Structure 1
Amino acid sequence: MNPIRKILMPLAGAPTAEAALGTALLVGTRFEAHLEVVHVRADNREVAPLAGEGLSGAMVEEMMTAAETEARSRSAAVRALFDRFTTQHKVPVVAPRGTMDEAVPAGAAIADGTTGATASFGVVVGREHELVAQLARLADLTVVSHPATGDEVSSSEALHAVLFDSGSPVMIAPKRTPSAIGRRVALAWNGTAESAASVRNMMPWLAGAEAVSVLHSPDYQRRGPTYDGLLAYLALHDLRPEPIAFAARDRDVGAGLLAAARDWGADLIGMGAYSHSRLRQLILGGVTRHVLEHADLPVVMSR
């Protein structure tokens, strides 16, 4: 049985959405997985309480109608993107989440008789961060679009909800679709529970990688096992990763980590997220935030 069988992909109208679709398809093709693409549309009934006092019923009704029209237009644009992408890449589109009879079997045959990824599209109504986190609890991996700006990193409720409330790993796609994922896998290790969760979640990737490295640094290490302990642990799984030491760049550990991954030729990074609190990282900066903002290759983060 493939360890990654279901990939959740929340899709909005972000400029990096198509690159995220391409990234998710690469993963889906590798693991013969199903891509469950979901667009979350806001519940416009929540507009009325936010309108405040002093507005007539007619004005509130007009606001709700305008919000509904905008939401439908956005949903149509996202669906058009999905249809264009799946047609261009010849991805079989199947029924969205439903009964067991609709589930996609492992190694499902596609139109040309080979096996590969399948995809579905659905629209749900509600609060994006709540619904995405709930859906991610029954996904092996969630792929999200790359935050376009630093402000989006701090304000992306959906991204942080998946990290903190789903119990599942999340892949942050790069701004451009990569040519390959998982041939050269870099593990960022600092001895924390979060990095240990990352190692376990990365096992499906490590098993099929051509090369694996462990990125470590005294500037990054926290209380817990050192990289030597990780190497011994991975040896029990018949893995012999290359240890790579790195140092902070301009006092920025995240910059040093990404530079080491690039220099080694990694096409995927696995790491723990927010071993310091999210609030501290948002205010003072931190490794997780730097990687979220600046990574130009796929990153799988775990909590």
Structure 2
Amino acid sequence: MAILWTEQTAGPVLALATRLARRFNGRVTGLAIRPAFESFVPSGDFGLALSQEYLDRLQQDGTARLTKLKSLFDAHVGAENITADWMEAQGPSADAIASAGRLFDISVLARPDAGGSAEPEIMLEAALFETGRPILMAPPTLPETDGTRVLIAWNGSSETARSVGTAMPLLHKAEEIHIISVDSGMATGPSARDVAAYLEKHDLRATYAHMQVGEKNAGAVWLDEAQRLGCDLMIKGAYTQSRLRQMIFGGATVHILNHAKIPVFFAH
């Protein structure tokens, strides 16, 4: 399922979703969401009533946005000759994604903009936490390839183990697999070397290394190593630490959400 929000981010999401569909002989379903606008907004002790004219303008803007997204979707899947269909939902984006996403193998959506609207991050977290399915996050500019050289950001956690297991079809398509663990935030569990041994049982060869973080964020170390190795896909467990702790202290997942320049496969 390709979750589309703005014209600016729709291109990378559609490109990544269609690449994935072609690789696995799948189909792409586009989802666009029209927010539900209420005529009464809580504000202070009494609330704020919105004029009908203002509500009508919001509805018109929403209709125009969905029309543009549908046109982009049709043009893209038509040019790529991919089997596809289209869905629209109305209401809170988190609710729409949680409901729809449970019946798709994976959700593809844009990397949130650290300085922009909160909505893309709300949508990403709904797809990650409420669907029971993995997500694939598209950066603003896609690399020429994805899934050819894969970096597994290993920290020994159950979330990362679930990500690796769920991503097994992608790993079987990869030409190179690199498992990188770091000395910050490691859970008590298997090492990177253990993961390589596990993958070998599935006829997958992987290199492995354990790196010192120093004063850097672990997410920055993984992204830097992915760039050094020429990786075009990262596999990571999301929010091994609590989301609140990551927001306050700055965790690896938050850093990757804000800075990844390659697609990232997340599961929780």
Within the alignment, does 1:121 sit opposite 2:112 as a pair?
Answer: no
Cα deviation code 1:106-162 (max 9, x no counterpart): xxxxxxxxxxx3221221111111111221111111100122225557972110111
Describe how 1:96-175 pairs up with structure 2 within 5 A: 117-150=82-115, 152=117, 156-175=121-140
Q: Which moved more, 1:185-194 or 1:212-221?
A: 212-221
Aligned to 2:245: 280
CA–CA separation in structure 1 for the residues paired with 2:187 and 2:47: 54
Identity of matched residues, %? 32
Structure 1: tracts of 5 or more residues without a match: 1-7, 92-116
Q: Which moved more, 1:271-280 or 1:216-225?
A: 216-225
Moved over 6 A (4+): none
Within the alignment, does 1:63 sit opposite 2:49 as a pair?
Answer: no
Whether the 8 Å contact between 1:19 and 1:173 is mirrored in structure 2 is: yes
Q: Which letter does structure 2 place at the counterpart of 1:125?
A: Q
Cα deviation code 1:160-201 (max 9, x no counterpart): 111111111111101113211111111111111100101111
Whether the 8 Å contact between 2:7 and 2:69 is mirrored in structure 1 is: no
Helix, strand or coil at the partner of 1:172:
strand
Deviation at 1:22, TM superposition (A): 0.9
CA–CA separation in structure 2 for the residues paired with 1:195 and 1:216: 11
Aligned CA RMSD, in angstroms, stands at 2.1
1:257 and 1:55, CA in 2 relative to 1: closer, same or farther beyond 3 A? closer
Aligned to 2:142: 177
Task: State TM-score, norm by structure 2.
Answer: 0.92
CA–CA separation in structure 2 for the residues paired with 1:160 and 1:169: 11
Q: Which letter does structure 1 place at the counterpart of 2:195?
A: L
Alignment: residue pair count: 266
Aligned to 1:224: 189
Within the alignment, does 1:43 sit opposite 2:36 as a pair?
Answer: yes
Whether the 8 Å contact between 1:130 and 1:158 is mirrored in structure 2 is: no
| Equivalent residue in structure 2 for 1:31, among 17, 24, 30 | 24
Q: Which letter does structure 1 place at the counterpart of 2:127?
A: V
Aligned to 1:189: 154
Within the alignment, does 1:80 sit opposite 2:71 as a pair?
Answer: yes
CA–CA separation in structure 1 for the residues paired with 2:99 and 2:136: 16
Within the alignment, does 1:300 sit opposite 2:260 as a pair?
Answer: no
Whether the 8 Å contact between 2:182 and 2:211 is mirrored in structure 1 is: yes
1:149 and 1:251, CA in 2 relative to 1: closer, same or farther beyond 3 A? same
CA–CA separation in structure 2 for the residues paired with 1:200 and 1:27: 18
CA–CA separation in structure 1 for the residues paired with 2:135 and 2:145: 18
1:191 and 1:86, CA in 2 relative to 1: closer, same or farther beyond 3 A? same
1:65 and 1:153, CA in 2 relative to 1: closer, same or farther beyond 3 A? closer
Whether the 8 Å contact between 2:7 and 2:68 is mirrored in structure 1 is: no
CA–CA separation in structure 2 for the residues paired with 1:299 and 1:150: 20
Whether the 8 Å contact between 2:151 and 2:180 is mirrored in structure 1 is: yes
Cα deviation code 1:210-256 (max 9, x no counterpart): 11111112224222222222222222212221003333264211111
CA–CA separation in structure 1 for the residues paired with 2:124 and 2:17: 16
Cα deviation code 1:242-291 (max 9, x no counterpart): 00333326421111111111111111110100000001111111100101
Q: Which letter does structure 1 place at the counterpart of 2:77?
A: T
Helix, strand or coil at the partner of 2:89:
strand
1:249 and 1:152, CA in 2 relative to 1: closer, same or farther beyond 3 A? farther
Q: Which letter does structure 2 place at the counterpart of 1:74?
A: R
Aligned to 1:257: 222
Whether the 8 Å contact between 2:110 and 2:137 is mirrored in structure 1 is: yes
1:245 and 1:140, CA in 2 relative to 1: closer, same or farther beyond 3 A? same
Q: Which letter does structure 2 place at the counterpart of 1:63?
A: Y
Deviation at 1:50, TM superposition (A): 1.4
Structure 2: tracts of 5 or more residues without a match: none
